[in-house]
Homo-oligomer: A and B are copies of this chain.
């Protein structure tokens, strides 16, 4: 077995994945509605083929051979080998027929979830969620290496190298920090004016503005495109084709504005991975958390920065053709950073968002480490919203059935979002030592920011672990204080609070 042969096999798997990527993108952006049955067949066929190859004889042979011939691997080959080995062990440790039964359970759970949403009642999906939890509890011993608890195993599938012990401390600190900021705002803050945010801005006006912004912050449209969809996403076929999508609300321009800035961050990441990882499983992001750190760097670091908005306000006014002529810059800027407790995660502002994640994290931990019954979940969920955000869902649609993740088996995934927030703030703090971020965002040329992120994060693709990337880029492990400090500076300014 030559490295070349191993890499060729991976390249072919990667090309199948690319074709699947386009089929998926098309399904979400404009596939004729009547063709979903045919589409399901071709996706099932190609993804089956890709999966079989990824655990097939060639990959097996390569893993066995290079296990004792690591000296024959190039540097890239070595990184690829490690990654493939990890993935193989994850995919291959579960008996095939149990995995198949699990996939059927996921399909049932998705159907039950849609039903539960319709009737706003978690009971409609309780049995199916129980089944998924049972499957995962059955699988965890297969996956487990040296993780301390069951939930550590799940957490590590999305954020390798992170532990419940560490995350408990981090989330505790973050929770206290956010709740203090919220208390101060409630006590002493001046609520910003926001009425004009809902003035009509046409889709074409919004598109002009957000495309311009996305390009300025480094998204390369010659290696991507912007399309309409229902649930926005970024999907990269490869580093020359990283597509972003958005939805538009003509009576709330901020949705697409921050949405596109966010997805552009994912896209810039994929566009900037080193070409030496082309056609390998390393040609993607390091983890969900690191990927979110890049989208959130755009959305909550750049997107909250006063100098950024000051610089772009004239362009915004030009695109909106007079609609905001009566609004001065300070009033406009403040309106973008209103904070308010809300029940629905995806509508939350940047200050309260991490609390939504912490609630889910605590519940997931209870499920896998304390064996809480699914009967209690809805009650626990509502109590936690009461406790942390001071509001209580009136039904399960506003509560526990709002997210698709659990019915999709994605337990351990939610923390990634909050990790992304914390990584983003920590990266900005490190960047600031070399680059005056305010200064760059006041200028015509934003490339120093993108270049810094490419140098420290993007280029490595999935060749380094999240904790290593953050340590190398910032000189210290994950530290939630940077996010707390950043939030404080932004929100105290907007709410006119002097410390």
- Min CB gap A332→B, angstroms: 31
Inter-chain contact A34/B223, CB cutoff 8 Å: yes
Which residues on the B side are within 8 Å of A31 (C-beta)?
241
Q: List 15 A-B contacts (CB under 8 A).
A: A15-B45, A19-B19, A19-B22, A19-B23, A22-B22, A30-B225, A31-B241, A32-B222, A32-B223, A32-B243, A34-B240, A35-B223, A37-B240, A38-B237, A38-B238
A31 to B15, CA, bound (A): 16
Is A33 among interface residues, defined by CB-CB distance under 8 A? yes
Which residues on the B side are within 8 Å of A33 (C-beta)?
222
Is A46 among interface residues, defined by CB-CB distance under 8 A? yes
Find the residue from A30, A35, A220, A222 having the highest chain B CB count within 10 A: A35
Task: Give residues 22-61 of A contacting B (CB, 8 Å).
Answer: 22-23, 26, 30-35, 37-39, 41-42, 45-46
Which residues on the B side are within 8 Å of A225 (C-beta)?
30, 32
Q: A32-B221, A32-B224 provided; 6 other pairs, C-beta below 8 A?
A: A18-B42, A19-B23, A22-B23, A22-B26, A32-B223, A32-B225
Inter-chain contact B32/A15, CB cutoff 8 Å: no
- Min CB gap A40→B, angstroms: 11
Cross-chain contact of A241 among B12, B38, B222 (Cβ < 8 A): B38
Which residues on the B side are within 8 Å of A26 (C-beta)?
22, 26
- Min CB gap A226→B, angstroms: 10
Task: Give residues 159-188 of A contacting B (CB, 8 Å).
Answer: none
- A32-B221, A33-B222, A224-B32 as given contacts; A46 in contact with B241, CB under 8 Å: no
Which residues on the B side are within 8 Å of A238 (C-beta)?
35, 38
A35 to B235, CA, bound (A): 14
Which residues on the B side are within 8 Å of A45 (C-beta)?
12, 15
Task: Give residues 213-271 of A contacting B (CB, 8 Å).
Answer: 220-225, 237-238, 240-241, 243
Inter-chain contact A240/B35, CB cutoff 8 Å: yes
- Copies of this chain present in the complex amount to 2
Which residues on the B side are within 8 Å of A22 (C-beta)?
19, 22-23, 26
Which residues on the B side are within 8 Å of A37 (C-beta)?
240
A38 to B238, CA, bound (A): 8
Which residues on the B side are within 8 Å of A32 (C-beta)?
221-225, 240-241, 243
Inter-chain contact A241/B15, CB cutoff 8 Å: no
- Min CB gap A430→B, angstroms: 31
Cross-chain contact of A19 among B42, B237, B241 (Cβ < 8 A): B42
A34 to B12, CA, bound (A): 21
Which residues on the B side are within 8 Å of A42 (C-beta)?
15, 18-19
When C-beta atoms are compared, the residue in chain B nearest to A222 turns out to be B34
Inter-chain contact B15/A41, CB cutoff 8 Å: yes
- Min CB gap A5→B, angstroms: 16
Inter-chain contact B38/A240, CB cutoff 8 Å: yes
Nearest 5 A-B pairs (CB), nearest first?
Answer: A35-B240, A35-B241, A15-B42, A34-B222, A38-B238
When C-beta atoms are compared, the residue in chain B nearest to A39 turns out to be B241
- Min CB gap A267→B, angstroms: 11
Which residues on the B side are within 8 Å of A221 (C-beta)?
32
A447 to B42, CA, bound (A): 32
- Min CB gap A223→B, angstroms: 5
A241 to B240, CA, bound (A): 27
- Min CB gap A238→B, angstroms: 5
Task: Give residues 372-394 of A contacting B (CB, 8 Å).
Answer: none
Inter-chain contact A15/B240, CB cutoff 8 Å: no
When C-beta atoms are compared, the residue in chain B nearest to A44 turns out to be B15
Find the residue from A18, A32, A224, A238 having the highest chain B CB count within 10 A: A32
Cross-chain contact of A237 among B18, B35, B240 (Cβ < 8 A): B35
A42 to B22, CA, bound (A): 11
Which residues on the B side are within 8 Å of A243 (C-beta)?
32
